[in-house]
Amino acid sequence: MASGFFALLDDIAVIMDDVAVTTKVATQKAGGILGDDLAVTAEKASGFKSSREIPVLWAICKGSFINKLIILPLAFLLSAFLPWSIVPILVLGGIYLAFEGAEKVYHYFFDSGHAKAAEAKMNRSEEEQVAHEKQKIKSAIIVDFILSVEIVIVALSAVIDEDISVQIASVSLAAVIATLGVYGLVAIIVRMDDFGIKLIESTDGKDNLVSKFGLLLVNALPWVIKSLSVIGTLAMLLVAGGIFVHNIHQIHDALHAVPSIVAEFLVGSVVGAVALIIVKVVESTVKRKAV
């Protein structure tokens, strides 16, 4: 009986070792998407009053964990019983990401009304601010869902030859690590000005290296946020384009001679532009019928 117990412990130790190794492999393979996820999440979680940044980020983070709870079992089931359905799901998500990216570019260059609304955001009433937060949180969670699907599928593909128990454990751990890592870094980014102020206050008015570093953090935050807005938009287009390039062989074959990042950006931009035009035409049609 004792020998059986120790044999069980040995089996558990072997499984844990396998899970540790495969989790590392799965996380590394999804690393590229995690960088895009970080940029998109930081962009989505910015633009709020300082006192609301962490609550908004926490709301998005909770939504991300719920997304993972939905995605993980579905991914394992689809991989086992309906593997053909994974690519269409990814493509639909890619269309949405491309649309989001293209819409941001459109608003920046062509929609003056949107720009004026952005300038007036600080004049919103409390009710309008709450509604704006809810809308942005909802949008962020939808985008997170699509990116999470991509992360889970990529992580799963890295361990697809392992036993199902190892697949479930390693991909689930990779998803948790990804979520904690991304949202932890975003929390640091959006609160870097507060950390800078704390550093300045700790020097009691002395002009030294600590106070200068604190001042640098405070002054850098607006530029970091603006940069993340641009990077987040590019990331959405790149991830969307990557979904099409890597999962539709006709597109991959047509652009095989083009550098991958250029091909992904071009495809993401074209898909986003087409999706945006369709949405604008539908919206215009609905408005005309409503008049």
Query: Is residue 220 in some structural domain?
Result: no
- 19 pLDDT above the threshold of 70: no
Q: What is the pLDDT at residue 172?
A: 84
Query: Is residue 163 in some structural domain?
Result: yes
Query: Is residue 185 in some structural domain?
Result: yes
Query: Is residue 123 in some structural domain?
Result: yes
**By residue range, what is the domain housing residue 148?**
2-190+225-290
Nearest in space to 96 (alpha carbons), one of 278, 282, 281 = 278
Give every CB contact of residue 204 below 8 A, 6+ residues apart in sequence.
Answer: none
Which range is most confident: 3-12, 24-33, 161-170, 214-223? 214-223
Q: How far apart are CA 253 and CA 210, in angstroms?
A: 54
Helices (H) and strands (E) in the chain, counts: 11, 0
Number of domains in the chain: 1
What's the pLDDT band for 273 if we cut at 50, 70, 90?
Answer: very high
Query: Is residue 79 in some structural domain?
Result: yes
Query: Is residue 199 in some structural domain?
Result: no
Q: Are the beta carbons of 27 and 176 closer than 8 angstroms? A: no
Q: How many CB atoms lie within 10 A of CB 9?
A: 10
Q: Of the given ranges (36-45, 87-96, 267-276), which has the lowest mean pLDDT? A: 36-45
Query: Is residue 162 in some structural domain?
Result: yes
104-152 pLDDT, tens per residue? Answer: 888 888 765 555 555 555 556 677 677 778 888 888 888 888 888 878 8
Query: Is residue 219 in some structural domain?
Result: no
Average pLDDT over residues 251-280: 91
Q: What is the pLDDT at residue 223?
A: 83
